């Protein structure tokens, strides 16, 4: 399970770095809760929101993953 979690996280983070989240393994019913505004629901809507972040992303550097079951923190 640990490797599956890391694979999913890396797919998303690498997609952000490449400015292409089409391969991010989002569940169809994903819900993104950001620091402002209401929750954003649905894979297509969340992808569209993340696309709006692209101008602010200068790159993604992954140093390590801390995995506990299905949860992962990436540094």
Count of CB atoms situated within 10 Å of the CB of 18 = 14
The domain that contains 35 carries what CATH number?
Answer: 3.10.450.50
pLDDT average, residue stretch 16-20: 91
* Structural domains in the chain (count): 1
Residue 53: the pLDDT is 87
Task: Say what the pLDDT of residue 31 is.
Answer: 96
Return the pLDDT at 30: 95
Domain that holds residue 68: 2-74
Encode pLDDT of 21-60 as tens digits: 998 999 999 999 989 989 999 999 999 998 988 999 998 9
Predicted local distance difference test score (pLDDT) of residue 9: 94
Other CB atoms within 10 Å distance of the CB of residue 32 = 15
Sort 3 into a burial class: Cβ within 10 Å, 0-12 / 13-18 / 19+. Answer: exposed
pTM over 0.85: no
């Amino acid at each position: 399970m640990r490797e599956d979690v890391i694979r999913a996280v890396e797919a998303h983070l690498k997609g952000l770095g490449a400015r292409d989240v089409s391969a991010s393994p989002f569940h169809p019913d994903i819900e993104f809760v950001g620091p402002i505004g209401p929750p954003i629901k649905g894979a297509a809507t969340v992808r569209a929101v993340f696309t709006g972040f692209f101008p602010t992303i200068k790159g993604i550097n992954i140093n390590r993953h801390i995995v506990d079951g299905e949860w992962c923190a990436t540094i």
